Amino acid sequence: MRYGAWVVIVCALVGWAAAAGPLVEALRPDIRLSMEADGIVRIRCGVAPVGPAGYVERPAELGWSLVPQVGSWRIVASFSETLTLDPGAERVFTDWRIRLPVGAYTLTWGDPCEGYTVVSFSVAEDAGGKRVLIAPQRFLEPLPPFMVAGADEPSWQAAPEARRAAAWAQASLAEDLAVCARRIEIVEVLARDFADTSLGVREPGMMYAQMITSGYVVRLKLVDREFEYRVAGDLLVRVPDVPSGQVPDDVWVVRVYAYHAGVDLLLHGAMACSPEAVMPLARWVPTHAEPVEGELKLLLGQGLLPWEIEEGYASEYPLPGVRLSVVFLKDGLLTMSLLDPEHRTSGGACRTGILRAQVEKTALQFPEVREVRILPPEVLQP
């Protein structure tokens, strides 16, 4: 029973960095517009899976609306069914032809939670009275004489792979945070050539194919939190949210550890101050830094974020005056020296046990570290 609970907790709290994105099942709404020789506007609305997992036996609640800029009429339609789509497949729900009056229109299509695609377009007449469709290029079929492509705003919207990368990252974050994708703002999408298949986000102990991998950096925002994803083909990686600020091109993914009373209660039925309830939280350090030393400095020098505290994590670090003095690794033994001039790491067995477990588990995440020695011997002792 306890072992099973432990596996579930570890999967939930650790697995997101590598697995959540590729496994996400969500739909990207697509709109295609064209104008035929007789001035009829053709509107096609469809969906496609955002990632390589496809979309398997899941309900879809979709709707679209066409609204003129001038006038009180509107056309609304909705669809509800269980869908199965292979990766890369598309399902067209609407293929509609209509003769629209000259004017400007807004077409909205998608899912109320996963998000909408919105296009503003116009029907005009040229000097000879010929009807012309004007819309952003990404929504137009290959251009015949009756259509005029406008600029895509923002510019990354012009590239189908960039749109796919943004939608996939947005859907993955929505699943991680259990929110509707439409609440997540796409801040920017930048094309980038990564040095290898890590996409610049390296896990200690992992090997990556050494080949130039073209993809995108996708930056997202939810309220006051910012997020970064790296996407290339069927690869998607979420950069840890902490530290905040500009993320370098290449980082190590590391984990610091904090106590979670809820896990302690689940595993032991009481607040047992157990090392098993000291759980990982993702962080990044730049690859030019020594990752073991970098993660320990993050643990000792930076507290938890407000949303981590809301989720039940607790840590007394940073403690006044406590800092890392020396770190030395030889033959699997990591020796570290802590400065604690005010004896802040002393206390009862429960408190010091948690403080020590945070340090040891943070250091032991690297495969080359098999044992940890903390000096001087009196620190982190009851």
- Nearest to 139, CA basis, from 153, 127, 128: 153
Q: What is the mean pLDDT of residues 56-77?
A: 91
Alpha-carbon gap, residue 361 to 275, rounded angstroms: 9
| pLDDT score of 3 | 37
pLDDT band at 21 (very low <50, low <70, confident <90, very high): low
* Sequence letter at residue 47: V
Q: What is the mean pLDDT of residues 213-232?
A: 95
| pLDDT score of 154 | 79
CB 355 within 8 A of CB 380: yes
Instruction: Quote the pTM value.
Output: 0.82
pLDDT band at 6 (very low <50, low <70, confident <90, very high): very low
Q: What is the mean pLDDT of residues 4-28?
A: 53
Phi, psi at 238, each rounded to 5°: -95, 125
- The 10s digit of each residue's pLDDT in 272-295 is 999 999 999 999 999 888 889 999
pLDDT band at 66 (very low <50, low <70, confident <90, very high): very high
DSSP 3-state assignment of 199? coil
Alpha-carbon gap, residue 360 to 372, rounded angstroms: 6
Every domain of the chain and the residues it spans: 27-151, 253-375
- The 10s digit of each residue's pLDDT in 317-338 is 999 999 999 999 999 999 999 9
- Nearest to 47, CA basis, from 166, 167, 149: 167
| pLDDT score of 88 | 87
Q: Which residue has the higher pLDDT, 347 or 147?
A: 347
Superfamily of 27-151 according to CATH: Immunoglobulins (2.60.40.10)
Percent of the chain with pLDDT over 90: 69
pLDDT band at 151 (very low <50, low <70, confident <90, very high): low
Q: Which residue has the higher pLDDT, 371 or 137?
A: 371
Return the minimum-mean-pLDDT range out of 43-52, 137-146, 250-259, 307-316: 137-146
Q: What's the token pair of residue 197?
A: 């298949």
